[in-house]
Structure 1
Amino acid sequence: MTERSPSLNDPFHFINERQVDNISLEFFYKPHTITALACSIILLFIWAFTRSDSALEKNIWNGLQAVLFMFIMISLICFPNGPFTRPHPALWRIVFGLSVFYLISLQFLLFQNFNDVKAILRWLDPERLNKMKLEEKEYAVNCSQVNATRIWSQLDIFAAGHFCGWAMKAMLVRHYGICWYISVSWEITEIAFSHLLPNFQECWWDAIILDILLCNGLGIWVGMVVCRKLEMRNYHWESIRQIRGTGGKLKRAALQFTPASWTTVRWMDPNCTYMRIIAVWILVVIWQVTELNTFFIKHIFAIDTSHPLVIFRLFLIALIVAPTIRQYYKYVTDPNCTRVGTQLWVFCAITLTEAILCIKFSRELFAQTQLLLLCIWLLVLLFGTVVCVYLCIAWASRSRKDNSDFQTNNDLNMKKNSLSTTTGTDMTTKNPILQVDMLKCRRRANSQPMEQAD
């Protein structure tokens, strides 16, 4: 069998192994596999023979560091570039390698018990990761007292985190409608899971004014402004049905059942508004689950929010999400793209594994889950997705119509001006009397200022 080489025009190849265009410095983009191998072995050789191996814990820690280092080197050489080439494809190969390593680590933790996981955490940080229960701040206290001083006192480090986080999310999603919907849906998610995590309970003005309008809203606006400044591509998640009229739709439905003109339609067909609704709904649900994993992991394993382990996970997830959203967008909008990207696959595996990990190590907590409330939450997200997609479609249609009318009026005005200029020039040239009158008018106009000056 002959190996099939990927085509450059293949959509999957474009989002999974994108090549760099217009290379100016060839040195930074040429493969240096032998040099990387030599440097890696020399570095490991020096490290292994110059360190002390008397302490068991230090030996294990250095061994894990060496494993991670070699895994990153392999990812630099073997793993795909992904959909991005800036600042350098090597960065995104490292991100993909770290995501795979994180997924493998989650698989290892999945087959341990709770005490073993806590022992590993205490081994990593004996002082800050030895707690069995996390002391969390209560936000739903004295909600009836609403004033400027009370609202200002709630602006802490978490408010700054909301702002920065949503600025980054806006740069990833690049769509006002989707960003605002995810922001509102997260507040709904907090209400739906507040019976499991009391930390989700907050005052109405905290959720609406501080979170949605102030922190999230400003973050979304700043992120979209940065996108325009950097000339990043805007994603158009809404779709408008291309077939107009009842007759055309009926004909299309009839042709769907004829063998001669049968067309294979993917489940995520971007030309179908219903499938686009499902695509956006899946995006929102996975997004909510990813956010929920952050809070459940902190609550179950008693990890403080300011701990470097939490910050590193959030930073890693943010880097992973960037190519993931690009690959997902390409998959749901391009009918020729029949496979999901590798980074998207790994991200979904990470999200679901984290959810399974939380359920396994906190069965008593999740036994209190109200299934009816969970079903209502999913239905509310689905209904909100329908409203969001149709509002985006209506807004996009109106914007395109206004732009089309404006362009048409400009074209008509330009034609009228051109026609009047041409007609006036022709009449003046052909009529000698008009030429004499125009000459007299020019002389009078030139003489009037001189008379006034005298």
Structure 2
Amino acid sequence: MASRRRTYSSGSDASDRFISINERPVDDISLEFFYKSHTITLLIVIISGLIYFAFTRDENESIQSNIQAGLVAMVFFFLIISIMAFPNGPFTRPHPAVWRIVFGLSILYMLLLLFIIFQDYRTVRSMFEWLFPELKNFTIDMDKGEWGEKCDDLSLSRLWESIDFFCFAHFAGWAMKTLLVRHYGILWTISVMWEITEIAFSHLLPNFIECWWDAIILDVLLCNGFGIWFGMQVCHLMEMRYYNWESIKDIQTTTGKLKRAVLQFTPESWTAMRWLDPACTYMRFLAVSQLVVFWQLSELNTFFLKHIFQMPPSHPLVFIRIFLLGAMSAPTIRQYYSYVTDPRCKRVGTQCWVYGLCMCIESLICIKFGADIFQHTQIRNIILWILVQAAMSVMCVYVCVTYHRWQRRRQIKKDDSVDDETEVEEKVNSYIQSLPRKTVTLSTPEDEDSDDEGEDAASKVPRRRKNHHHLRRGNRLDQ
């Protein structure tokens, strides 16, 4: 008898959870025009535009101009296809088309990285110089500054002189990261770990060398700390907000319509993230540790790519990559969070998968083209860095779990007026056992068959097939 494997049907709860993070449907449609399909109209418009530019553009210009025009057209048409074919992701505001474009850009970035990894250094450098001729006259030695000098000179005037545009960038970046992660423990762990990462790799990247007060006071406490605090305050405000969206067609005043149009660029709802709780399993511990490591890897790639391919910190390519990864991070973290914490979510989202692949390819590019730099690697520093990463991850998980357990004990004492420690502990343990857990079960098809045959028919709960017409891929904005 052929073995059979238990799978989830299209109407299963697991399928629902994956759809909600990978292709979330639009529940509240205010203006149907923007959510109806306009594929024929779009096809006519883009063909008309293509005919116009193809026959009116002067092809006698430089070959560089012709190639750039062709690349722009190729990217534009790929993004049009992205709007029509790619999934929405976990967000629908301001419009699903925005997040389909983000996913399309991430695919293009992944393909570009795959192309680069099969080239030699001179070819890649020539590509950048062809796109940005000003890079021909720039070398990484021109970016040298006063790193780690006069560290004993600590005064208010010295601190004030050290505040520049990048301090504001640190603050804004950490505020955005906080809006995505929404957990004090994980954010502070990443913040402190990044300073340790800078110390571990300072012998390879000179701009990682900085004074102790620059790392502790300016970076961790002021820029990162205030960014985390500000982001968490925004998160608390969004959690307390009452979300009841009124259709713009039902609003009578012009001011009200404009206000509703602006609010379209705000979240439809807000979910409080609970990365860690008293019932954390080893899988969630590994997942949170993996998040910290990938975060460090993504940040390291930024500095290594800039250093290896010799670009100034203010170059447009550096900012384009940062903004692109920032846009990719929003759906990526949401999909990763659902996969880690929701037992019903059995697959990771496509945007998260692509983001992870991009980070790995970037690291391979750094290793391949930065071989001369990595020859000077101090193995002891890297080993210590890995050990500290593991220790900090364990400490973060332990402290957070202990805090949540203590918080639950205090809530039980307050709500139930229980003073007996034994009774409080029993209620805490009962609460922990009731929490859903993300587990991994390894079984063979034969085991599943035996489980099915051994179940009592009276105890089987019939699985009701749900109506998925509202979860099907909705109408696309194709113009």
Structure 2-normalised TM-score? 0.76
Which residue number in structure 2 is paired with residue 317 of structure 1?
A: 325
Q: Larger Cα Rg: Structure 1 or Structure 2?
A: 1
How many Å apart are 1:28 and its aligned residue? 1.5
How many Å apart are 1:138 and its aligned residue? 3.1
Match of 1:20 among 20, 26, 43: 26
Which residue number in structure 2 is paired with residue 235 of structure 1?
A: 273
Residue 393 (1) aligns with residue 401 (2): yes
Gaps of 5+ in 1: 242-270, 411-454
How many Å apart are 1:339 and its aligned residue? 1.4
1:300–1:361 CA contact under 8 A, matched in 2: yes
Distance 2:99 2:294 in 1: 22
Alpha carbons of 1:6 and 1:141: their partners in 2 closer, same or farther (altered >3 Å)? farther
Distance 2:29 2:412 in 1: 38
How many Å apart are 1:129 and its aligned residue? 5.2
Letter in 2 for 1:111: F
Aligned-residue sequence identity (percent) comes to: 53
Distance 2:153 2:139 in 1: 34
Which residue number in structure 2 is paired with residue 124 of structure 1?
A: 131
Distance 1:42 1:401 in 2: 68
Higher relative contact order (CA 8 A, sep 6+): 2
1:122–1:130 CA contact under 8 A, matched in 2: no
Alpha carbons of 1:180 and 1:33: their partners in 2 closer, same or farther (altered >3 Å)? same
Which residue number in structure 2 is paired with residue 194 of structure 1?
A: 202
Distance 2:32 2:40 in 1: 17
Offset from partner CA, 1:352-375 (integer Å, 9 cap, x none): 111111111111101222233222
Match of 1:51 among 44, 57, 62: 57
Structure 1-normalised TM-score? 0.80
Letter in 2 for 1:89: P
Letter in 1 for 2:74: V
Which residue number in structure 1 is paired with residue 109 of structure 2?
A: 102
Distance 1:38 1:21 in 2: 30
Alpha carbons of 1:375 and 1:338: their partners in 2 closer, same or farther (altered >3 Å)? farther
Match of 1:306 among 285, 291, 314: 314
Number of aligned residue pairs: 378
Letter in 1 for 2:400: C
Which residue number in structure 2 is paired with residue 293 of structure 1?
A: 301
Distance 1:351 1:130 in 2: 29
Offset from partner CA, 1:87-135 (integer Å, 9 cap, x none): 1111110000000001101111111111111111111111245423342
2:336–2:349 CA contact under 8 A, matched in 1: yes
Offset from partner CA, 1:190-210 (integer Å, 9 cap, x none): 011111111111111111111
Offset from partner CA, 1:204-257 (integer Å, 9 cap, x none): 11111110000000000111112222333221111323xxxxxxxxxxxxxxxx
Distance 1:46 1:228 in 2: 51
2:147–2:206 CA contact under 8 A, matched in 1: no
How many Å apart are 1:36 and its aligned residue? 2.2
Letter in 2 for 1:208: I
Which residue number in structure 2 is paired with residue 340 of structure 1?
A: 348
Letter in 2 for 1:11: R
- Secondary structure at 2:134's aligned position in 1? coil
Residue 275 (1) aligns with residue 313 (2): no
Residue 406 (1) aligns with residue 414 (2): yes
Residue 36 (1) aligns with residue 42 (2): yes
1:228-267 aligned within 5 A: 228-231=236-239, 232-241=270-279
How many Å apart are 1:6 and its aligned residue? 6.6
How many Å apart are 1:409 and its aligned residue? 5.5
- Secondary structure at 2:312's aligned position in 1? coil
How many Å apart are 1:63 and its aligned residue? 0.2
Task: Pick which of 64-73 and 401-410 moved more.
Answer: 401-410
Distance 1:353 1:142 in 2: 38
How many Å apart are 1:5 and its aligned residue? 4.8
2:178–2:228 CA contact under 8 A, matched in 1: yes
Gaps of 5+ in 2: 1-8, 240-269, 419-479
Distance 1:240 1:211 in 2: 31
Offset from partner CA, 1:40-94 (integer Å, 9 cap, x none): 2222221211111112111100000000000100100000000111111111100
Letter in 1 for 2:275: W
Letter in 2 for 1:238: L
Residue 176 (1) aligns with residue 184 (2): yes
Which residue number in structure 2 is paired with residue 64 of structure 1?
A: 71
